[in-house]
Structure 1
Amino acid sequence: MAKKAQISEKDIVTFYMDYVLEHNEKPSSVYSFAKANNFEESKFYEFFGSFEAIEKHIFKVFFDNSMLALNNSAEFQKFDARNKLLSFYFTFFENLTANRSYVLHALNEHKNALKNLAVLANIRKPFTQFIKDLDIETIDIKQEQLQNFQNRALQESAWIQFLLTIKFWMDDTSPSFEKTDIYIEKSVNTSFDVLNVVPLKSVIDFGKFIFKEKMHMN
């Protein structure tokens, strides 16, 4: 049988995700993967250097598709920072949920949690840039060095919050992942309330929610 001449990046990603879902593991080699899908091995390397590169790319596609949908929304452009961040979370997790079986495999592949997080490497920079572009109002510090430190701390804490939300979603077994929706709303609102030095009611409310859910999951 003649090899497929026209193979796109999207084709290879689709083949890879299908293989992982059907076999519950990654292919043993690029050669066997290309042979199973009837294309030349060299075509694979036109787009990716390894299977690990594909895995990182897939999560970047989830992120890019989420941002594209948001940026094409006239309503989104009118939102304040808080609602833009909420919209991002809900849109991104819709994409994850649509591909939940693959995502759970990719983020549980290794016993070492840090190795699993490596697949998210390609979205860390665009995510923190998104947080920066939100221009979230913080305490006005006149000293430039301290202001820069505060801004970096805000971006890093947002990234950690993002990772924790992914972990919560992975453990969530509620219908339509409704508890993840609650988690997102409470965590984002709490973050903004703390930044704006609003009374601690929402912080306490969020704490009670997390405690209750963790007790239930355990």
Structure 2
Amino acid sequence: MATKKIKVTKDRIVSLYMDYVLEHSEKPKSVYIFSKMNDFSETEFYAFFGTIESIEKEIFKMFVEKTVDLLNLNQEYVMYDMKSKMLSFYFTFFEILTANRSYVVLVLKEHNNNLKKLSLLAGLKLSFKNYLIEIITDDFRTQQERLQNFQEKAFQESSWFQLLLTMKFWLDDSSPSFEKTDIYIEKSVKANFELMNIAPIDSLIDFGKFIFKEKIYNK
């Protein structure tokens, strides 16, 4: 009796790819070799990925997507404020990274000091920034409309840099259950939100308007 062929899916290709990298400490030499050794055709591979390198980028993007999916399973999550949502994201995201630590360390460790320019994190960056757009609230936005776009971009960039720093810390963390990373997350997220606090910005602009009017109209 013929063995039933396992259906080729995006998740299956990713799983086989991660196994290959962990077993060989390198990526497959070609799509042909990778497909043949896993008993599917190149055509089936190209239905999901254009190159071997594109799998690497997709993996980190999928880590973010899986994080968001898990967060949305919690019915209370939608009621969280921005900082609580960010903390929930971080803890869930790093749980997923930890579950795949051997792979993540292998592919990132050699670039530990230059993660910001690492192309394989491009998908992660885009997905993470899309997540940030979703959680920004009106309470966070400055009331000065002309500065809102600048403020949101500043929040995205500072949060992205913060995520990279946290990933670097986690890569070097040797504490039990990576408890030092948990502490780092709590302190860094809190610090980032304090730095991005818009109340002083609005107050400063209002004060500037007041001074301007006083100087112009009360001469």
TM-score when scaled to structure 2? 0.81
Residues 1:140 and 2:142 are matched in the alignment: yes
Could you say if the C-alpha distance between residues 24 and 146 of structure 1 is closer, same or farther in structure 2, counting changes exceeding 3 Å? same
Shift of 1:72: 1.4
Query: Partner residue of 1:162?
Result: 163
Query: Partner residue of 2:87?
Result: 86
How far, CA to CA, are the matches of 1:113 and 1:4 in structure 2? 42
Q: Is the 8 A contact 2:141 2:198 kept in 1?
A: no
Could you say if the C-alpha distance between residues 88 and 40 of structure 1 is closer, same or farther in structure 2, counting changes exceeding 3 Å? same
Write the deviation string for residues 176-207 of structure 1: whole angstroms up to 9, x where unpaired: 00000000000001112233389xxxxxxxxx
Q: Is the 8 A contact 1:3 1:39 kept in 2?
A: no
Q: Is the 8 A contact 2:116 2:164 kept in 1?
A: no
How far, CA to CA, are the matches of 1:11 and 1:87 in structure 2? 28
Look up the equivalent residue of 1:85 and give its one-letter code: M
Could you say if the C-alpha distance between residues 39 and 139 of structure 1 is closer, same or farther in structure 2, counting changes exceeding 3 Å? closer
How far, CA to CA, are the matches of 2:116 and 2:169 in structure 1? 18
Could you say if the C-alpha distance between residues 105 and 73 of structure 1 is closer, same or farther in structure 2, counting changes exceeding 3 Å? same
Between stretches 116-125 and 85-94, larger displacement belongs to: 116-125
Q: Is the 8 A contact 1:107 1:119 kept in 2?
A: no
Shift of 1:7: 1.6
Shift of 1:11: 1.7
Aligned residue runs from structure 1 range 1-218, under 5 A:
4=5, 6-108=7-109, 113=114, 117-135=118-136, 137-138=139-140, 140=142, 142=144, 144-196=145-197
Percentage identity across aligned positions? 53
Q: Is the 8 A contact 2:142 2:198 kept in 1?
A: no
Unaligned segments of structure 2, at least 5 residues: 200-219
Q: State the superposition RMSD in angstroms.
A: 2.5
Look up the equivalent residue of 2:161 and give its one-letter code: I
How far, CA to CA, are the matches of 1:110 and 1:56 in structure 2? 15
How far, CA to CA, are the matches of 1:112 and 1:162 in structure 2? 14
Which fold has the larger relative contact order, with Cα–Cα distance below 8 Å and residues 6 or more apart in sequence?
Answer: 2
How far, CA to CA, are the matches of 1:31 and 1:116 in structure 2? 29
SS of equivalent to 1:25? coil
Q: Is the 8 A contact 1:139 1:195 kept in 2?
A: no
SS of equivalent to 1:74? coil
SS of equivalent to 1:69? helix
Q: Is the 8 A contact 1:66 1:92 kept in 2?
A: yes
TM-score when scaled to structure 1? 0.81
Q: Is the 8 A contact 2:128 2:160 kept in 1?
A: yes
Query: Partner residue of 1:210?
Result: none
Shift of 1:31: 1.1
Could you say if the C-alpha distance between residues 46 and 115 of structure 1 is closer, same or farther in structure 2, counting changes exceeding 3 Å? farther
How far, CA to CA, are the matches of 1:14 and 1:104 in structure 2? 16
Q: Is the 8 A contact 2:112 2:168 kept in 1?
A: no
Question: If you compute each CA radius of gyration, which structure gives the higher value, 1 or 2?
Answer: 2
Look up the equivalent residue of 1:8 and give its one-letter code: T
Could you say if the C-alpha distance between residues 114 and 100 of structure 1 is closer, same or farther in structure 2, counting changes exceeding 3 Å? closer
- Structure 1 residue runs of 4 or more that deviate by more than 4 Å after TM superposition: 1-5, 109-112, 136-139
